[in-house]
A and B are shown apart, each in its own frame.
Chain A
Amino acid sequence: MARNKQQTGISKESVKIVLLGEGRVGKTSLLARFIHNNFKEDQQATIQAAFMSRQLQIDSQQVEVALWDTAGQERFHSLAPLYYRDADAALLVYDISDRDTLERVRHWVKELRTMVGDDIVLTIVGNKSDLERERAVSQEEAAAFAQSIGAQHVSASAKTGQGIEAAVSGTAQMVLASRKRLGGSARPPGSTGRRPGSIVIADGPGTRTQGSSCC
């Protein structure tokens, strides 16, 4: 969770980014490349979620980037709000060789806009750019889509390492910029949610509001 940690009087920014996208588009692999600079052809499917973090230097400021990797398959959908509800930004990942995965990104955009609102920073990431030969989504189309929703578009490859640093640091930078615009850190330390009460998770017969700390 992004919050300002007071350490010897110097505030250190932290940014929470969630990765969303259809199962198999390479979310975990992008993270593994970003954090460990490695790549596994046979990266296991993510069942729940994984968390990783890394320090970045942005405009001479140390920023801790906390990245949440989620399970992609639609059947794990109810888990997603746990991760995105208080995220500062989302990397919406699709596979350039698989057109359906861009459709899934469109769904994510809608859901995030409805559930979280407009101030979550979005970056669309076209992964597997090394598979140019099998490309099924044109660069122009994806970029135009990104532009239409006010997101940036980055072409990346977890395999070669292309584009990932740019995607993450660019996203973090936009989060910091929007924080500045809103007048410093919008979030008090220790807050548990972006807008408590704004996320509704279906739970059994009725629905229940998430965000308050005690039920």
Chain B
Amino acid sequence: MSRGAGSSSGAALAVGAALSLGAAAAAALAVALLSGQKSSKAPPLTKEAWKEACDEGGKLVDFAAILEQIRMGGCDPGVREEVWPYLLRLVSPSSTAEQRSSLKAELARRYSDLLQRCQDLETSLDSAVVRTGSSVAVAENTGVVRSVPAHLAQFAEAQRIIVLDAIRTDLLQPDASPESSGSMHGAMNGLAPSAERRGGGPWLGRVAEETLANATHLSLASRKAAARLIQLLSAYAVHDPETGYCQGMSDLAAPFLTIFEDDAMAFWCFERLLQRTSKNFRHDEVGMREQLRALARILEQADPVVFHHLRQIGAGECFFAYRMVIVQLRRELPLAQAVNLWEILWADDYWQRLGSWAPPSMSRPSSGLFGSYDKNLSALGGREEHFAGSAPDLLLFFIAAVALRLRRRLIDECRDQDDTLRLFNSVRVDLWGSLRSARGLQRSLAAHYQPNSSVY
């Protein structure tokens, strides 16, 4: 292993921290050392391996082994469409092929119900606008139509932002690496042409129709992709009105549409992801503050020297990591790598929980396809349990690793919070190298993790 002078002194600093501050420093040292290593990646889960993992009935034989492989190496692009519903706990590993196909039909029905609700809301909005004497054009221009019922005004407002965001979301990343292009093309070929939609296809709002018709700067394929994204996000806003739509969701949703040909599966997988992360989108921002505080605690425990510096310059609240947390590195990594990271994070979370306790589907294989699934679909707010005091997600360790790999620059170049924001805006993230560091941190700190340390 060869390291430059920079990382040697980084290691020396970490050793200094180790001597003075004891337990925490092993992690800092690990990061300093690992960041000098050439990053290597474990092999991804292949289509062949996935096929072999199922018995004749389509049940998974050794799910833990599958998870183990994904959490180390991710998935081949071709296998994601099948594997993601498991990783996101939409589908139980103990389900049979037959059960899955009936689940799929049920999910499609429920998705189309949500789009129907969008249609109904739009119809109600139109008639409310007519009743109150304002023209539709005025309603669109002023967005929040104050004289119509709140839920309709909310719908109109969400529609407008969703449409504007969807057409400027990174839909078909041209720089997607060759390894992922297969599934991209697959998804694009599966799009329903808009003519078919008009002939009784699923709802797409009037604002969207008009905006897409005028979006001549977009290719036909991009417009189709944008239409699917608008449907998905509108359906989500209706499904979870408390969260509604927030910028950043389009970044999280778009990859699902490139991976799944089936819009309903894309929606319900996205919905599962949002069950874990919708707190990040809350109006009161409590979720984000919680996450950034957890990140601060990791940094404090992993590398007291860097953290002390951050506090000194007024950046101890880790706002520089806001975007990384809320859109889960989607903006910092190319699409192919971002989805790689996500599946690794999901598999890691699942795998960690397998170790300590059995998830509902494991303990109650006969109670539906996945224990909490029906409950979550039928009862809004039936969020995944949050385990207070449990160790943070690998995502936060990953972000901490990204930060600690920049420790020299943080210490040498950052004199105030602006500098940290600037540094993180332009950061280039090494996916596999940072993952190695993140795992090092997770191992060193998880055992000693103190959720209530003295950071704030």
A142 to chain B, nearest CB (A): 15
Residues of chain B lying within 8 A (CB to CB) of residue A82:
319, 417, 421
User: Per DSSP, are chain A's interface residues mostly helix, strand or loop, or mixed?
Assistant: loop
* A214 adjacent to chain B (CB < 8 Å): yes
Residue in contact with A204 in the complex, picked from B282, B289, B312, B331, CB distance below 8 Å: B289
B146 to chain A, nearest CB (A): 11
* Cβ contact within 8 Å between A48 and B168: no
* Cβ contact within 8 Å between B316 and A215: yes
The stretch of B67-75, B84-92, B243-251 that contacts the partner chain: B243-251
The stretch of B39-47, B159-167, B183-191, B374-382 that contacts the partner chain: B159-167
Residue in contact with B165 in the complex, picked from A1, A45, A77, A134, CB distance below 8 Å: A45
Instruction: Write out, one digit per residue, whether chain A residues 49-79 have a CB within 8 A of any chain B CB (1) or not (0).
Output: 1110000000000000000100111111111
Known: A24-B161, A78-B289, A99-B142. 7 other contacts (CB 8 A): A1-B418, A24-B164, A41-B218, A51-B421, A51-B425, A75-B281, A98-B141
A136 vs B283: C-alpha distance when bound (angstroms): 28
* Cβ contact within 8 Å between B418 and A43: no
Residue in contact with B247 in the complex, picked from A42, A75, A97, A213, CB distance below 8 Å: A75
Within 8 A of A (CB), among B139-176: 141-144, 161, 164-165, 167-170
* A203 adjacent to chain B (CB < 8 Å): yes
Say whether, besides A75-B246, A210-B314, A45 and B168 are in contact (CB < 8 Å).
yes
* A144 adjacent to chain B (CB < 8 Å): no
Leading 7 A-B pairs by shortest Cβ distance: A48-B323, A41-B217, A42-B168, A100-B143, A73-B247, A47-B323, A45-B247
Say whether, besides A45-B168, A51-B422, A192-B416, A78 and B285 are in contact (CB < 8 Å).
yes
Instruction: Write out, one digit per residue, whether chain A residues 23-58 have a CB within 8 A of any chain B CB (1) or not (0).
Output: 110000000000000000111110111110000000
Residue in contact with A100 in the complex, picked from B144, B164, B283, B289, CB distance below 8 Å: B144
* Cβ contact within 8 Å between B322 and A48: yes
* A190 adjacent to chain B (CB < 8 Å): yes
* B327 adjacent to chain A (CB < 8 Å): yes
Q: Which residue among B165, B283, B312, B416 has the maximum number of chain A CB atoms within 10 Å of its CB?
A: B416
A45 vs B251: C-alpha distance when bound (angstroms): 9
Within 8 A of A (CB), among B234-256: 246-248, 250-251
Chain A: CB-nearest residue to B143: A100
Chain A: CB-nearest residue to B415: A190
Residue in contact with A213 in the complex, picked from B285, B313, B322, B456, CB distance below 8 Å: B313
Residues of chain A lying within 8 A (CB to CB) of residue B323:
47-48
Say whether, besides A48-B323, A48-B421, A213 and B217 are in contact (CB < 8 Å).
no
A55 vs B143: C-alpha distance when bound (angstroms): 38
A207 vs B196: C-alpha distance when bound (angstroms): 55
* Cβ contact within 8 Å between B289 and A44: no
* Cβ contact within 8 Å between B285 and A45: no
Residues of chain B lying within 8 A (CB to CB) of residue A215:
311, 316, 456
Instruction: Write out, one digit per residue, whether chain B residues 276-299 have a CB within 8 A of any chain A CB (1) or not (0).
Output: 000001110100110001000000
Residues of chain B lying within 8 A (CB to CB) of residue A50:
425
* Cβ contact within 8 Å between A213 and B312: yes
Chain B: CB-nearest residue to A97: B141
* Cβ contact within 8 Å between B143 and A98: yes
Residue in contact with A77 in the complex, picked from B164, B285, B415, CB distance below 8 Å: B285
Residue in contact with B250 in the complex, picked from A45, A71, A74, A100, CB distance below 8 Å: A45
Chain B: CB-nearest residue to A45: B247
Instruction: Write out, one digit per residue, whether chain A residues 155-179 have a CB within 8 A of any chain B CB (1) or not (0).
Output: 0000000000000000000000000
Residues of chain B lying within 8 A (CB to CB) of residue A42:
167-168, 217-218
* Cβ contact within 8 Å between A45 and B248: yes
* Cβ contact within 8 Å between B161 and A73: yes
B276 to chain A, nearest CB (A): 18
A16 to chain B, nearest CB (A): 8
A99 vs B157: C-alpha distance when bound (angstroms): 13
B141 to chain A, nearest CB (A): 5
Say whether, besides A100-B142, A214-B311, A71 and B289 are in contact (CB < 8 Å).
no
Instruction: Write out, one digit per residue, whether chain B residues 335-358 have a CB within 8 A of any chain A CB (1) or not (0).
Output: 000000000000000000000000
B217 to chain A, nearest CB (A): 4
* Cβ contact within 8 Å between B144 and A71: no
* Cβ contact within 8 Å between B314 and A48: no
A174 vs B41: C-alpha distance when bound (angstroms): 54
B157 to chain A, nearest CB (A): 8
Residue in contact with A43 in the complex, picked from B168, B251, B417, B456, CB distance below 8 Å: B168
* Cβ contact within 8 Å between B141 and A76: no
Say whether, besides A23-B161, A82-B319, A136-B141, A48 and B416 are in contact (CB < 8 Å).
no
A102 to chain B, nearest CB (A): 11
Chain A: CB-nearest residue to B248: A47
A157 vs B311: C-alpha distance when bound (angstroms): 40
Within 8 A of A (CB), among B407-456: 415-418, 421-422, 424-425, 456
Q: Which residue among A43, A134, A214 has the maximum number of chain B CB atoms within 10 Å of its CB?
A: A214
Instruction: Write out, one digit per residue, whether chain A residues 76-96 have a CB within 8 A of any chain B CB (1) or not (0).
Output: 111100100000000000000
A24 vs B161: C-alpha distance when bound (angstroms): 8
B76 to chain A, nearest CB (A): 28
Chain B: CB-nearest residue to A42: B168
* B326 adjacent to chain A (CB < 8 Å): yes
